[in-house]
Amino acid sequence: MKISVFTVLFKDRSIHQTFRICADLGVDGVELYGREPHLSEETSAARVEEIKALSKEYGLPVIGIGTYLGRFSTDNDADCQRDVERLECFLEHAAELGCPLIRVGCGGPHAFRAHEYHFLKGAEWIRKCADRAAMYGCKLMIEIHNGSLVETVNDALRFLRLVDRDNVGLIHDAGNMAITDTDFGKSSIHQLKDHLFHVHVKDVARVPSSDVAGGFQNLTRHGMEHFQQRLLGEGDVDHRPVVEGLMEIGYTGYLSIESHAPLPDVDRARADIAALRKIIEEVSAKRANAR
């Protein structure tokens, strides 16, 4: 397993600063924030060449692009078609950068409030996206995310069955799944095994009030709840079972740091990278001793 950074952590910095920081942090790759000032559908060919040169200079492959496209289940058809066209711009960028994965959304509402037609419409448009992506040899990732049709493992597998495309898979995100209050441990990893394209890593905690640094509210099946973004290991999300499960299925992809803890960007990135490395070392040692 390799560690990457989702550059949303450095969304207020230039792409040049971001690559330099990520190299200093010692990660293995970058997942690009799919908006300016990093990479958007409007990024020029010349700037994509600059990003390609930065990737080569710092030895950091672009392993994914996290776009914010896709509210397909609730948008009107004209807006959905516009997002498909915008996706093609990202596909062109990805081909130039040698990037194999692009994240798209399926839309909402929350899975526990959604109707069958939401799933059917979302799947129809994701199929259109997948067929475009296939022409570029690219795979699409859908993140398991609170507030979307895909909040749990069961939701995710249901949606993928409707999409029925081999180049569409999932991002496992234990932080999001903890908000949804669904299992995010070893069992979830094993259930998703054949469809797991990528992993996000962050920590959150349920708190009495969101009136704290890093606080936010989210509607869950329990009602409106309060949460706080935390450093890895300081919240409610134990990533050890996640890493154990990934090792058990032979996952060889990346784990992307996505910390939103209320600290300066480099500080939270460094802290979460160190914490994740420690978890990987501990789980590896545990498995070695068990043999």
Q: Does the pLDDT value for residue 290 go beyond 90?
A: no
**Residue 229 structure tokens:** 């973004």
At 205-249, the pLDDT tens digits run: 999 999 999 999 999 999 999 999 999 999 999 999 999 999 999
The reported pLDDT for the residue numbered 266 is 98
At 176-186, the pLDDT tens digits run: 999 999 999 99
Q: Tell me what the mean pLDDT of segment 163-172 comes to.
A: 98
Q: Does the pLDDT value for residue 291 go beyond 80?
A: no
**% of the chain beyond a pLDDT of 90:** 98
Q: Tell me what the mean pLDDT of segment 142-162 comes to.
A: 97
The reported pLDDT for the residue numbered 146 is 94
Q: Which residues, other chains included, contact 130 with Cβ-Cβ below 8 Å and sequence gap of 6+?
A: 140, 163, 165, 167, 168
84 contacts 130 by C-beta, under 8 angstroms = no
**Residue 131 structure tokens:** 């067929």
**Residue 178 structure tokens:** 């903890």
- Average per-residue pLDDT in the chain? 97
223 by Cβ neighbours in 10 Å (0-12 / 13-18 / 19+) ranks as: exposed
Residue 21: what residue type?
I
Length of the chain, in residues: 291
Spatial distance between the Cα atoms of 82 and 48, rounded to a whole number of angstroms? 22
Q: Tell me what the mean pLDDT of segment 132-151 comes to.
A: 97
Spatial distance between the Cα atoms of 291 and 271, rounded to a whole number of angstroms? 31
Under the banding of pLDDT at 50, 70 and 90, the label for residue 22 is very high
Spatial distance between the Cα atoms of 291 and 288, rounded to a whole number of angstroms? 5
Q: Does the pLDDT value for residue 167 go beyond 90?
A: yes
